[in-house]
Amino acid sequence: GGDSNEATAKPKRSFYAARDLYKYRHQYPNFKDIRYQNDLSNLRFYKNKIPFKPDGVYIEEVLSKWKGDYEKLEHNHTYIQWLFPLREQGLNFYAKELTTYEIEEFKKTKEAIRRFLLAYKMMLEFFGIKLTDKTGNVARAVNWQERFQHLNESQHNYLRITRILKSLGELGYESFKSPLVKFILHEALVENTIPNIKQSALEYFVYTIRDRRERRKLLRFAQKHYTPSENFIWGPPRKEQSEGSKAQKMSSPLASSHNSQTSMHKKAKDSKNSSSAVHLNSKTAEEKKVAPKEPVEETDRPSPEPSNEAAKPRNTEKDSNAENMNSQPEKTVTTPLKKESVSPENNEEGGNDNQDTENPGNTNCHDVVLVQ
Considering 36-50, 59-73, 248-262, the range whose residues carry the highest mean pLDDT is 59-73
Q: Around Cβ 305, how many Cβ atoms within 10 Å?
A: 24
User: Is 288 within a domain?
Assistant: no
Asked if the model's pLDDT at residue 196 lies above 60, the reply is yes
User: Is 186 within a domain?
Assistant: yes
Domain interval for residue 109: 18-231
User: Is 123 within a domain?
Assistant: yes
pLDDT tens per residue across span 342-368:
333 444 444 444 444 344 344 443 443
pLDDT at 17: 93
C-alpha–C-alpha distance, residues 305 and 352, integer Å:
9
- Its sign, for the CA torsion 54, 58, 59, 63, is negative
Residues of the chain above pLDDT 90, percent: 55
Asked if the model's pLDDT at residue 339 lies above 50, the reply is no
* DSSP 8-state assignment for residue 183: H
Selection from 84, 39, 79 nearest residue 61 by Cα: 79
User: Is 310 within a domain?
Assistant: no
Average pLDDT over residues 325-334: 40
Better-predicted residue by pLDDT, 106 or 33: 106
C-alpha–C-alpha distance, residues 93 and 109, integer Å:
25
User: Is 72 within a domain?
Assistant: yes
Asked if the model's pLDDT at residue 247 lies above 90, the reply is no
pLDDT at 3: 47
- Coil, strand, or helix at residue 52? strand
Better-predicted residue by pLDDT, 127 or 281: 127
Q: Report CA-CA distances (Å) from 44 to 58, 82, 120, 368.
A: 10, 11, 18, 123
pLDDT at 143: 94
Average pLDDT over residues 225-243: 76
- Coil, strand, or helix at residue 131? strand
C-alpha–C-alpha distance, residues 347 and 122, integer Å:
112
CA angle 44, 50, 51 (to 5 degrees): 125
Selection from 93, 109, 90 nearest residue 101 by Cα: 109
Please state which of the ranges 28-32, 173-177, 226-230 shows the lowest mean pLDDT: 28-32
Mean pLDDT, rounded, of the chain: 75
End-to-end Cα spacing for the chain: 114
pLDDT at 10: 79
pLDDT at 6: 46
pLDDT tens per residue across span 175-191:
999 999 999 999 999 99
Selection from 206, 39, 181, 43 nearest residue 109 by Cα: 43
pLDDT tens per residue across span 57-89:
999 999 999 999 999 999 999 999 999 999 998
User: Is 168 within a domain?
Assistant: yes
pLDDT at 104: 94
Asked if the model's pLDDT at residue 328 lies above 90, the reply is no
User: Is 237 within a domain?
Assistant: no
Q: 318 pLDDT band (50/70/90 cuts)?
A: very low
Average pLDDT over residues 134-162: 96
Better-predicted residue by pLDDT, 36 or 255: 36
User: Is 85 within a domain?
Assistant: yes
Q: Provide the number of structural domains found in the chain.
A: 1
